[in-house]
Structure 1
Amino acid sequence: DYDRGRRERFSPPRHISPQHKRMRRDCFCASLQEFLLNMEDSVDETEAVKRYNQYKLDFRRQQLQDFFLQHKEQEWFRSKYHPDDITARKAESLAALKTRLSVFLFLLDNNWLDNMSLDMDHAPAIIKLLDAAVIKMEGGTDLDLQVLEVPAAPTASVGELSAGGGGEKSQGDPSGGSVSGHSSEMNRSRTEETTGGDTGETKDSDKVRTRRKERGKEREKEAPPKPRPLHLTTSLFIRGIPPEVSKEEITALCRRYPGFLRVALSDPQPERRFFRRCWVTFDRSVNIKETCWNLQNIRLRDCELAPVVNRDLCRRVRSVNGLTHHKPVVRNDIRLSARLVHSLDQRGELWAGQMETNPVLKNITDYLIEEVSAEEEELTGASGGNGDDTGTKDPASSSEVTVETDEKLLKVLDRLLLYLRLVHSVDYYNFCEYPAEDEMPHRCGLIHVRGPLPVGKITAAEVSEHQRMCEERLAPLLSPSETLSEDEAAKLGKKDPEQEVEKFLSANTQELSKDKWLCPLSGKKFKAPEFVRKHILNKHGEKVAAVRQEVEFFNNFLLDAKRPALPENKPLPPPAQGATHTEILTSCLPLPAAPPGVPGFPAQSPQQQSLLGYPPGVRPPMPGGAPPYPPNQFGAGRGNYDNFRGHLGGGGGFPGKQRNNRGVRGDPRSIIEYRDLDAPDDLDFF
């Protein structure tokens, strides 16, 4: 009894069967033999590989179709590929881009960018510039910008008040204005309410409340408007949102709480069942912990939100290698950033595609042409060669050079980098674009700038390596979105709208008897199929249009070279030279379909199984005969129990040490081991 209780405490009961029954390893060996036996004897290795390639193509085509049908109704998928959602999203992004452009031009015209240098020595000024941009993006006025001129007061937790020597200061009031006048008014009101009690007279509480509201409105009218800290927000973070939950549902739920501003959702994560991360932004004046507590036990589509408070950014200005101060590096950065500005402006349809219209690109070629003293060096004999033709290494690549700075070039570069950061949300020195930044809690959060100058000298090899690295990491931003070629798309099953319409018409033209045809869409009968066709095109045009739209929907997904997909398993190493027919086929076969509920394996149709030569219902073999199920499928709690306890005839426990089979407290009886006969045979004991 003691031993049985100990087992149940540290491992799940063995009588509970798993959700999916594991298959024995020898079943897969039989399936492989059956596959080889069903093939003709005349099939050589070349023909076998050809059949496999065709099977693999059909398998991938079916994968894409199944993935599309599985996710087509989910919001994240429709926003990426559905024609209507693409149009709406493009209009929203273009409007947000134009708003950011107008903010940048405002800052440029009002001298906010003058004397702005993107290095760590100017971090406070950079943060102030980012906050000013956010205030304008939020619809703030010039008065609201004055909040940045007030020194920041020490902040307490959200919703709390910090007592000062001359009065009280609220966290939501960055100006730190005294509220002693308001306190005196409140004390006066309380005195008026309680005076009647001392004299034995009572006053109507409604009249007192009404008079208090009127006085408050009068004070608001008389008091001058205060700048609003629109750049300060507070937010909640939700770790996992199911893919079937839409952004509108989360917005409708969180809008019931005061101070709600917006919702941001990340792209789905295939390795986490396409769950998404979520940020809910509120006004800075709300008690975010109370809102978080109210959302703790709320379920949305049987999913607990479980939010947590999102902390503010700790380091908004971060430094990169000080080599970026070097003049050749700066000139190269000007060239790359100018290309990036031009490319993103064309993609966002800004400036009507005219490069000279953008003020940051005005006369940019003057700073891209390098000037050298080649003639003087030639006459004085100071010119160095680039190495001979014998393949020897250029000695100049390892020579040390002094870091050379050019303030004029740095000013031109900083103007370009600020344009990229404020307009296109591109952090140049971090080589990345912050997606959907306008929906995040911080609309201009991080920025990377130049670090301190390198100590000592640098080598020419370091400079060239840094420039090469910059071009490689910026290549994804400079290149347009990747799409498949027509040939590759046709192989993967690209659909023709007219052919799909013909299939739709044929499927809805049913013959009942001679000279009697039915349209199932309306239930009407006709004498000939051409009348049914004409009826559907005239009376059910919206359904025909829906078919064409569905085809465009699928083709948009298919043509995306970076389309989402299930995470792939690591491929097996290629077969060795001189491998046999069986070894080649075994190494080439893909992973078969897993039962519902086991992630990581796509579905497989009976038609695909017949392509390999085995009948429907017989599972294809795994490479090497391994089972398609992950280890420890009994769920959490079992852990590495079998390896610790040991297998049949094995010692288990620690390596190199025989397990003690005496039982508990010297009991000579050995522990009885139970083993599932359907479990994989890790040891060859059959």
Structure 2
Amino acid sequence: MADRNSDSKSSLPKAYDVEAREREERKRKRRDGEEGREDFDSFPVMMSFKAFLETQDDSITDEEALAKYGEYKLEFRRQKINEFFVSHKTQEWFRLKYQPQELQKATKKAQKAIRRRCEIFQELSDKGFLEGVSCDDGKEMEIIKLLDSVVILLEGGNYEDIKNLDLEQNNNDAVKHKSSSIFIKNLHPSITRDDLHGIVSKYPGFLRLAISEADAKIGFSRRCWVSFQRNAKIREICFALNNVQLKGLELQAVVNKDLSRRTRTTEDKVNLQKVLETDFNTALAIIKFQDEKHGVWVEEAPEPVKPAEGDATPEVKVEKVAPAVRANPLMSEVEKSKDNIADLKSALDKLVLYLRVVHSIDFYGQKDYSGEDEMPNRCGLIHVRPSTCADYDEAEVCKFLNSRVPLYSTFTTNKIQMDEAEAKKLGLKDEDFEIEKFISANSQELAKDKWLCTLC
């Protein structure tokens, strides 16, 4: 009988064999590094209005049903947000994304990096490095050399290194500004940057570590890129990392491939007069917005002068003044160069290169590469115009222009902030009130002005 049951069970299709499916799922989770992850999708699903009505009394009116369903949706969202917070509040990615101090630190770091890139762009422009560089596929070598020059200066190189750039290109392993890298597809949410850095920084030639934002679709894991000097023994390092476990989890590292092409062409419609004119104005708008957002041309206000130690001279007070804002010299330069199509293209090219170098925005690719300074390839990719263009009717051109509006609008808008009244309904707490509540709950008055901390 036992044998018959065993045979019967083994002949079950996998779809109906629950135990077999559970075993396969456990194997998959171990293989993909997902074991132990919390599944946000397992939270309850919001009821439809029809399903909600089935839970109510038959005598309920339409107005009452709508009002109660609105209250239900609000409470459901509040609970969902709270469950999300409780599930992830201790994870590093959550703190980096939502903790105010961490956000402020990241913002300052980004602003400093962008200002440094702007200084380099201005310097290269003043030295004539932009001369003869146009954003079309016939100037691939010139574009790559410009981007490589930016990278050399970003990484502490000098103009002597830039002069040697052509010679180094012939010996790929000797190129100073290039790196080799390792890619980790799924970093478990419990593993922090410091955890990983402590491992990878021990290998010879380590340069930097880049970690993406958490991806909810794969259990809030993150992707990682570990960069090493070009001459590092990258395959040996990768093999060694795959024999390391962090918090009982494998890293599953692979050697990252070099970029096959640094320049990619976009649609030929971008060569049309109407599109060029539109792109010029769009690029101007993006630069103005991004410059202001990151304070690129804002001069820092003077700090109050403090007296030297032991100096009896009273402190000189400096009144707070609004920081001065300089004009971006590129703006006035290109405004003068848009009267004919040749000058228009040249002016647009400078705007496109400024966006790519300073703000890490690939204009023709509609891509934002912010954070690329930690990635293996700084100034790696750029999209350019093709050298040819077919004929298109006005309707096709308008359709093309309209299709790009939503893509470019992401570079000229800030994230929408939730209304404070709605945020309070969804669980926003008052900081001062919460602190006072915590103190009251965890202290005991022994006498006048004498308190005991019950936590201690």
1:444 aligns to what? Answer: 379
2:178 aligns to what? Answer: 232
Q: Is the 8 A contact 1:240 1:276 kept in 2?
A: yes
Task: Say which is worse superposed, 327-336 or 276-285, in terms of deviation.
Answer: 327-336
Q: Distance in 2 between matches of 1:270 and 1:358?
A: 39
Spell out the pairing of 1:353-392 with structure 2 (5 A cutoff). 357-366=327-336
Q: Is the 8 A contact 1:342 1:355 kept in 2?
A: no
The verdict on how the C-alpha distance between 1:493 and 1:5 changes in structure 2, with shifts beyond 3 A counting, is same
The verdict on how the C-alpha distance between 1:462 and 1:308 changes in structure 2, with shifts beyond 3 A counting, is same
Specify which of 118, 134, 146 is matched with residue 135 of structure 2: 118
Q: Distance in 2 between matches of 1:37 and 1:274?
A: 35
Q: Distance in 1 between matches of 2:434 and 2:345?
A: 58
Q: Is the 8 A contact 1:100 1:422 kept in 2?
A: yes
Note the alpha carbon deviations across 1:111-149, whole angstroms, 9 max, x for none: 110111100011111111111111111110112112312
Q: Is the 8 A contact 1:116 1:126 kept in 2?
A: yes
Task: Say which is worse superposed, 249-258 or 461-470, in terms of deviation.
Answer: 461-470
2:344 aligns to what? Answer: 409
Q: Secondary structure at the match of 1:324?
A: helix
Gaps of 5+ in 1: 20-34, 156-170, 173-228, 371-404, 510-517, 520-524, 544-686
Q: Distance in 2 between matches of 1:44 and 1:484?
A: 31
2:406 aligns to what? Answer: 472
The verdict on how the C-alpha distance between 1:36 and 1:347 changes in structure 2, with shifts beyond 3 A counting, is closer
Specify which of 430, 437, 455 is matched with residue 496 of structure 1: 430
Amino acid at match of 2:430: D
Q: Distance in 1 between matches of 2:136 and 2:20?
A: 63
1:346 aligns to what? Answer: 292
The verdict on how the C-alpha distance between 1:443 and 1:6 changes in structure 2, with shifts beyond 3 A counting, is farther
1:427 matched to 2:362? The reply is yes
Gaps of 5+ in 2: 23-51, 300-323
What's the % identity of the aligned pairs? 34
Q: Distance in 2 between matches of 1:478 and 1:14?
A: 53
Q: Secondary structure at the match of 2:364?
A: helix
Q: Secondary structure at the match of 1:477?
A: coil
1:64 aligns to what? Answer: 81
Spell out the pairing of 1:133-148 with structure 2 (5 A cutoff). 133-148=150-165
Structure number with higher relative contact order (C-alpha < 8 Å, ≥ 6 residues apart): 1
Aligned residues: 400
Q: Give the TM-score taking structure 2 as reference length.
A: 0.80
Q: Distance in 2 between matches of 1:17 and 1:257?
A: 42
Amino acid at match of 1:244: S
- What's the CA shift for 1:424? 0.3
Q: Distance in 1 between matches of 2:254 and 2:55?
A: 58
- What's the CA shift for 1:283? 0.4
The verdict on how the C-alpha distance between 1:478 and 1:14 changes in structure 2, with shifts beyond 3 A counting, is closer
Q: Secondary structure at the match of 1:234?
A: strand
Q: Distance in 1 between matches of 2:20 and 2:4?
A: 24
Q: Distance in 1 between matches of 2:235 and 2:293?
A: 41
Amino acid at match of 2:154: M
Q: Is the 8 A contact 2:209 2:226 kept in 1?
A: yes
Spell out the pairing of 1:131-280 with structure 2 (5 A cutoff). 131-150=148-167, 152-153=169-170, 171-172=173-174, 229-280=175-226
Task: Say which is worse superposed, 305-314 or 245-254, in terms of deviation.
Answer: 245-254
1:306 matched to 2:252? The reply is yes
Q: Secondary structure at the match of 1:453?
A: coil
- What's the CA shift for 1:4? 4.4
Q: Distance in 2 between matches of 1:453 and 1:17?
A: 58
Q: Give the TM-score taking structure 1 as reference length.
A: 0.54
2:447 aligns to what? Answer: 526
Q: Secondary structure at the match of 1:357?
A: coil
1:507 matched to 2:453? The reply is no
Q: Distance in 1 between matches of 2:165 and 2:133?
A: 16
Amino acid at match of 1:359: P
Note the alpha carbon deviations across 1:527-577, whole angstroms, 9 max, x for none: 6xxx57xx58xx99xx9xxxxxxxxxxxxxxxxxxxxxxxxxxxxxxxxxx
Q: Is the 8 A contact 2:362 2:383 kept in 1?
A: yes
1:315 aligns to what? Answer: 261
- What's the CA shift for 1:252? 1.2
Task: Say which is worse superposed, 264-273 or 146-155, in terms of deviation.
Answer: 146-155
Q: Secondary structure at the match of 2:422?
A: helix
Note the alpha carbon deviations across 1:219-275, whole angstroms, 9 max, x for none: xxxxxxxxxx33211000011001121112111110110000111111111011101
- What's the CA shift for 1:7? 5.3
1:286 matched to 2:261? The reply is no
The verdict on how the C-alpha distance between 1:54 and 1:287 changes in structure 2, with shifts beyond 3 A counting, is same
Note the alpha carbon deviations across 1:41-90, whole angstroms, 9 max, x for none: 54334323322221221111111122122222222111122122122212
2:26 aligns to what? Answer: none
Q: Is the 8 A contact 1:240 1:275 kept in 2?
A: yes
2:120 aligns to what? Answer: 103
Q: Distance in 2 between matches of 1:10 and 1:235?
A: 46
Note the alpha carbon deviations across 1:190-217, whole angstroms, 9 max, x for none: xxxxxxxxxxxxxxxxxxxxxxxxxxxx
- What's the CA shift for 1:36? 8.2
Q: Is the 8 A contact 1:264 1:279 kept in 2?
A: yes
Q: Is the 8 A contact 1:355 1:361 kept in 2?
A: no
Amino acid at match of 1:413: L
- What's the CA shift for 1:465? 2.3
- What's the CA shift for 1:359? 1.9
Q: Secondary structure at the match of 1:150?
A: helix
Q: Is the 8 A contact 2:298 2:326 kept in 1?
A: no
1:482 aligns to what? Answer: 416
Q: Distance in 2 between matches of 1:60 and 1:261?
A: 43
RMSD after superposition:
3.0
Amino acid at match of 2:110: S
